[in-house]
Amino acid sequence: MQATLLKATQENCELNREGVRKDEIIESSNKRLRLEDCLGGANSQLKHKNKERDELLDRAHQLRELWTESQVEGRKLKEDLEDAKQQLDSMANEYWKEHF
């Protein structure tokens, strides 16, 4: 009878240790899942931020191109204006010569 009680006590201790180990494994798994969820959320946010950055870089490139085009167009308009001023001055000089 004592042998049976001893054996039952040993089995109980072993089952308790096994239960503790399983609880530790479950807790570890739960922590890992929570961490994976956090990492998944962070990864999703990072992808979103990367997409926003790429869109902003594309827009900046477009604006840079427009700026360059506007500078070229501005120089051309200044040249055209100077030509028109010279033509007007020339026409005015001719008019003054002919009429006065």
pLDDT tens-digit profile of 58-81?
999 999 999 999 999 999 999 999
**Any domain includes 94:** no
Q: What is d(CA 91, CA 59) in angstroms, rounded to the nearest whole number? A: 47
Report the domain count for the chain: 1
| The amino acid at 88 | L
Q: What is d(CA 95, CA 18) in angstroms, rounded to the nearest whole number? A: 113
Confidence of residue 43 (pLDDT cuts 50, 70, 90): very high
Q: If you ran DSSP here, which 8-state letter would residue 20 be given?
A: H
**Any domain includes 80:** no
N residues, the chain:
100
**Any domain includes 97:** no
pTM of the prediction?
Answer: 0.56
CB-CB neighbours of 88 under 10 Å = 10
- Domain residue limits at 41: 1-74
Distances (CA, A) of 26 to 50, 80, 81, 99: 35, 80, 81, 107
Q: If you ran DSSP here, which 8-state letter would residue 21 be given?
A: H
Concatenated DSSP letters of 54-90: HHHHHHHHHHHHHHHHHHHHHHHHHHHHHHHHHHHHH
Of residues 1 and 70, the one with the higher pLDDT is 70
**Any domain includes 62:** yes
pLDDT at residue 82 is higher than 90: yes
The pLDDT, as a whole number, for residue 1 is 83
**Any domain includes 85:** no
**Any domain includes 83:** no
**Any domain includes 93:** no
**Any domain includes 100:** no
Confidence of residue 38 (pLDDT cuts 50, 70, 90): very high
